[in-house]
Amino acid sequence: MGLTTPPRKKGSVTETRTDSQPLLSTLGEDGDSDSAPELMMARGESRKDLSDRTPSSSARSLRIASWNVRTLYEAGKCVQATREMQRYRLDILGLYAPTNAASEEEKEEFYDQLQRITEKLPRKDVNIIMGDANAKVGSDNICYEEIMGKQGLGVMNDNGERFADFCSLNDLVIGGTIFPHKDIHKAIWVSPDGGTENQIHHICISRKFRCSLQDVRVFRGADIGSDHHLVIAKFQLKLKRYSRNPTTKRLKFQVNLLQGNKITDFGITLKNRFQPLEHLDEDMETYWSQVKDSFISTCKEVLGEKDYKHKDWISQESLNRLSERREKKAEVNNSRTRNEKEAAQREYSDAAKEVKRSIKNDKEAFTNELDERAEKAAQGGHMRTLYEATKVLAGKRKNTEMLVKDAEGNTIFSQELLMARWVEHFESLLNRPPPIEPPEILPARNDLDINCEPPTLEEIENAVSLLNSNKAAGPDYIPPEALKADSKVSSTILHGLIEKIWTEEKYPND
């Protein structure tokens, strides 16, 4: 699997793939551009989840690497992998370009397919294109100052010019030409006779995130039986520091406590809190602010804020076994003799089996507990508890994004083109020619009897009593249960507010 991993100790780079095919290879065996994005793009999660998360500023740099995790179907294994995968949003595109001796038709076909795939990458993401481009871009960056530096190796060839034009068109920076290194740390391919060294592998990043790329260099110590050296990019995502304003925290209260004496206490506290402000002659905005503060402060005092505590299904015993397995792995790595290593490896295998067994038991116990809870809720008619347990058992539903296509049937990825396509669709749908024989619509015989008087106290109390419980509060953070706890007091408070809105003919800003 492809992912971003924290850097190891300097000079220690390993790869655990067992096959000889590259992890991110060509544009598809049959040259089909539609199948290429599935082969060449790796993304860790849905765009909605990503947009909701704000990446934290990390002091650690990251490296793009490969990691053979053997399987993700074991219980708890996916949790360990996703902690590293879901830190940053990355679109990684690997390539293997034709050599400089290939025909012009083959080169044109390759770069046409590469361009079509690149255009589908979201511009807001960190787009990284890397691989064996078979292109020498050289150190002369005249006319390419924005996408490459002067630290390249050799002289630009025909493939290098094509690759530089492609990067310029897509606003990509060639990382290997920016950072100064010795020539031995730039040369990636060495001829069999050892006389020719070229820089033909490249790692490119969106120019928007150029400052996040810290270094690109060759590591000659990595050995995999190839005439190509390993090139690694050091990457640290730098974003504007985001601090959540404490005042914008969404307030949720323990409305399930509004039972018995709590309802009486809530009504008395609310009435006492608002009574001194009832006869003040204030404008509508000030009056609404007092109403909102009265409800929120009463909810905080009587009910308290809702505290979220996530209960992980992995037990402490399993976590302890994970720590023991980690210690056994360290003993394997630190073994000096073959006998010590074999003994430590056997202990590590036994510890790994215990971890699998313990996590499997935890998962089974957690599922059985939810099953019993759902069964009891169904027998007792507690549909809300039944729904919550079923939701946990079923897992999160994937929100698949519906693809929008243009008039020619091509999928649209750009937000601007997407909005323009919707405008075009509704213009063709709604702007129809008038009917040849329009229907005859007769005028109303009688005027409707509409009451234009301000709402009465009884009407407001009736509307409050009809509010549905267990619904999310609005921007004012006042839950419907708080309004229904003592409908008479709430209606009296809201009646004064509605009268001011009716008189001034405007409503509060929030």
Confidence label for 20 from pLDDT (cuts 50, 70 and 90) = very low
The C-alpha atoms of residue 378 and residue 104 are separated, in whole angstroms, by 69
* Burial call 293-316: b when 16+ CB within 10 Å, e when fewer: ebbbebbeebbeeeeeeeeebbee
Q: How many domains does the chain have?
A: 1
457-490 residue pLDDT tens: 888 989 988 988 888 888 888 888 988 888 888 8
Question: Is residue 357 predicted with pLDDT exceeding 60?
Answer: yes
pLDDT greater at residue 309 or residue 2: 309
Question: Is residue 47 predicted with pLDDT exceeding 80?
Answer: no
Question: Is residue 77 predicted with pLDDT exceeding 70?
Answer: no
pLDDT of residue 54: 42
Q: Find the angle CA(148)-CA(153)-CA(159) to the nearest 5 degrees.
A: 70
Phi first, then psi: give them for residue 90, nearest 5 degrees. Answer: -135, 135
Phi first, then psi: give them for residue 42, nearest 5 degrees. Answer: -125, 120
Question: Is residue 52 predicted with pLDDT exceeding 50?
Answer: no
Question: Is residue 427 predicted with pLDDT exceeding 60?
Answer: yes
Asked if the structure places residue 156 within a domain, the reply is yes
Which of 140, 203, 147 has its CA nearest to residue 176?
203
Mean per-residue pLDDT over the chain, rounded: 76
Question: Is residue 67 predicted with pLDDT exceeding 50?
Answer: no
Asked if the structure places residue 228 within a domain, the reply is yes
Are the C-beta atoms of residues 166 and 194 closer than 8 Å to each other? no
Print the domain residue range for 219.
2-235
140-189 residue pLDDT tens: 888 888 889 988 988 898 888 989 999 988 889 998 899 999 888 888 88
Chain centroid to Cα 263, Å, comes to 41
pLDDT of residue 311: 56
Asked if the structure places residue 102 within a domain, the reply is yes
Domain of 225, CATH number, reads 3.60.10
Asked if the structure places residue 293 within a domain, the reply is no
3-state secondary structure 473-491: CCCCCCCHHHHHHCHHHHH
The C-alpha atoms of residue 156 and residue 136 are separated, in whole angstroms, by 5
Are the C-beta atoms of residues 215 and 234 closer than 8 Å to each other? yes
Asked if the structure places residue 84 within a domain, the reply is yes
Range 395-399 average pLDDT: 63
The C-alpha atoms of residue 400 and residue 414 are separated, in whole angstroms, by 17
Asked if the structure places residue 252 within a domain, the reply is no
Question: Is residue 239 predicted with pLDDT exceeding 60?
Answer: yes
The C-alpha R_g of the chain, in whole angstroms, comes to 33
pLDDT of residue 235: 81
Helical (H) or strand (E) element with 422: helix 415-430
Asked if the structure places residue 226 within a domain, the reply is yes
> Which amino acid, 235?
F
199-228 residue pLDDT tens: 888 888 888 888 888 888 888 766 555 677
Question: Is residue 10 predicted with pLDDT exceeding 80?
Answer: no
Which of 403, 394, 53, 4 has its CA nearest to residue 242?
53
Question: Is residue 419 predicted with pLDDT exceeding 70?
Answer: yes
Query: Cα–Cα distances in Å, from 308 out to 252, 254, 311, 388?
Result: 10, 11, 10, 15
Asked if the structure places residue 180 within a domain, the reply is yes
Which of 189, 145, 179 has its CA nearest to residue 164?
145
